[in-house]
């Protein structure tokens, strides 16, 4: 299993156009990224297209990833997740979200801030469990399945504005819990 | 939105960042946040922090290995057809160098060098480095006495914001850079020692590269033109 450092090293080589490194990066990370897009799209054929699109973005944007304390897997998963969600919402007006990947590393947090956030990440499951059951499930649905406010409102059978209020309160509780 | 509890701006931005990361915003709101990110480091930091926080849920994703064909397809989309041939054969260009063009090249070479007459002159070699469609064409003449390769561009130029880089390939060895071609039509380079003995079997190629040339030491852009070296 490749370490975060190995993955960072591979991304740095990919940024220089190293195809062998790209192949290795794919071999080491594609099961995770495919799992991410499959969870969102729930369809193998779409997920195969999406994971290819994601790796094409990774190839193109590798130069913009720099080691700033953000985990390289988080960077890649963010690209994969957003690519899958864009695909899921293809029928809507499309927004190019390539920049999401860029802004993770652009002015972003300093390494200490990132390390704090990464430490908090380990507590997220416990903190979600502190929320009312439906609310924790809504946050998971949004993150893991790419559900929008409208999807979640339909799923939990509440008006859209109520869902937004719910979710924002949940996120605030989550932030407080994770900072404890 | 009257149901939404009012937040202080700071809290509000942190929650907005969370909604942005979760992709809960509608496309117009999403675009507004994206535009602010470029000029508001605090908001960008909030987005990065939420990305890191929520990444804890990545552990709940069940890994799934994609079919092998997915990788093959991906590499084809990125790099073109996978083949075992050396890259200059892969480009399928050098076959375009016809005998006729070599004859012309030879003639031009003699003209351009203004050779001194006499039996004692050192062997000369020539290569026409040409794109299949002739959109880029260079003539290279190698004077073995001076180990100097003189390259004259007779057609085409680098793309806007790009440069042309000259490569020498000996057999199956990786390409050796002979440098970035200046914008001048004619330039001269000294052939590296290791390549001199085998000059008659060299292949010369020109690739499209970022300013300053390939950062990897190997061609990274398209191979635009290829030519075999021939004794004159």
Q: What pTM was estimated for this model as a whole?
A: 0.59
Chain B residues close to A161, C-beta within 8 Å: 1, 3-4
pLDDT, one tens digit per residue, over B173-194 is 888 999 898 887 788 888 888 8
pLDDT score recorded for residue B93:
46
The CATH number of the domain holding residue A133 is: 1.10.10.10
**C-beta atoms of A165 and B5 within 8 A:** yes
In whole angstroms, how far apart are CA B6 and each of A107, B9, B13, B207? 28, 9, 12, 59
Q: Does B68 touch chain A (CB under 8 A)?
A: no
Q: Average per-residue pLDDT in chain A?
A: 84
The answer on B111 and B188 residing in a single domain is: yes
Domain coverage including residue B114: 87-231
**Is A118 part of any domain?**
no
Same domain, B131 and B53: no
Range of the domain at A159: 123-180
In-domain check, residue B159: yes
Judged by phi (left if over 0) then psi (alpha if -120 to 50, else beta), residue A17 lies in left
B77 touches chain A (CB under 8 A): yes
With a cut of 50, list the residues of chain A below it in pLDDT.
91-97, 99, 101-108
**Residue B120, min C-alpha distance to chain A (Å):** 47
Question: Does residue B13 share a domain with residue B102?
Answer: no
Q: Is residue A158 part of a domain?
A: yes
Question: In which band, very low, low, confident or very high, does the pLDDT at B85 lie, cut at 50, 70 and 90?
Answer: very low
**Domain of residue A24, CATH code:** 1.10.1740.10
**Do residues A72 and A96 share a domain?**
yes
Q: Is residue B206 part of a domain?
A: yes
Q: Taking CA B131 as the corner, what is the angle to CA B176 and CA B217, rounded to the nearest 5 degrees?
A: 20
- Our count of domains for chain B comes to 2
Question: pLDDT: is B84 or A123 the higher one?
Answer: A123
Work out the percent of chain B whose per-residue pLDDT is above 70.
77
- pLDDT at residue A107 in the model: 42
Give strand pairing partners of B150.
B141, B188
φ/ψ (deg, to 5) at B168: -115, 135
């Amino acid at each position: 299993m490749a370490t975060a450092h190995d993955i960072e090293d591979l991304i740095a080589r990919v940024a220089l156009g190293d195809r062998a490194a790209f192949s290795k990066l794919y071999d080491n990370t594609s099961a995770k990224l495919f799992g991410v897009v499959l969870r969102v799209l729930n369809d193998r054929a779409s997920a195969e297209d999406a994971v290819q699109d994601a790796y094409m973005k990774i190839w193109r944007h590798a130069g913009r990833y720099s080691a700033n304390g953000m985990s390289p897997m988080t960077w890649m998963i963010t690209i994969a997740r957003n690519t899958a969600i864009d695909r899921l919402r293809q029928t809507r007006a499309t927004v190019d979200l390539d920049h999401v990947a860029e802004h993770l590393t652009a002015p972003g947090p300093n390494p200490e801030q990132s390390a704090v956030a990464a430490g908090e990440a380990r507590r997220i499951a416990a903190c979600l469990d502190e929320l009312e059951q439906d609310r924790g499930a809504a946050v998971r649905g949004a993150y893991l399945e790419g559900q929008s406010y409208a999807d979640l409102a339909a799923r939990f059978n509440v008006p859209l504005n109520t869902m937004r209020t719910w979710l924002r309160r949940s996120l605030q509780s989550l932030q407080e819990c994770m900072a404890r | 939105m009257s149901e939404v509890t009012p937040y202080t701006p700071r809290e509000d931005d942190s929650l907005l960042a969370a909604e942005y990361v979760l992709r809960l915003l509608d496309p117009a709101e999403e675009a507004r946040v994206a535009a602010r990110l470029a000029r508001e480091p605090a908001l960008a930091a909030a987005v990065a922090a939420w990305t890191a926080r929520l990444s804890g849920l990545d552990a709940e994703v069940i890994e799934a290995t994609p079919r092998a064909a997915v990788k093959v397809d991906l590499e084809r989309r990125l790099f073109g057809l996978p083949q075992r041939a050396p890259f200059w054969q892969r480009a399928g260009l050098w076959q375009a160098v016809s005998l006729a063009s070599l004859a012309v090249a030879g003639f031009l070479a003699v003209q351009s060098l203004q050779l001194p007459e006499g039996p004692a002159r050192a062997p000369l070699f020539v290569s026409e480095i040409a794109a299949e469609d002739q959109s880029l064409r260079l003539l290279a003449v190698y004077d073995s006495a001076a180990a100097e390769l003189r390259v004259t561009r007779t057609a085409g130029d680098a793309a806007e914001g790009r440069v042309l880089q000259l490569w020498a390939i000996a057999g199956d060895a990786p390409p050796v850079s002979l440098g970035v071609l200046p914008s001048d039509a004619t330039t001269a380079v000294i052939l590296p020692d290791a390549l001199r003995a085998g000059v008659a079997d060299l292949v010369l190629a020109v690739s499209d590269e970022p300013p300053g040339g390939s950062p990897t030491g190997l061609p990274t852009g398209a191979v635009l033109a290829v030519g075999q070296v021939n004794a004159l």
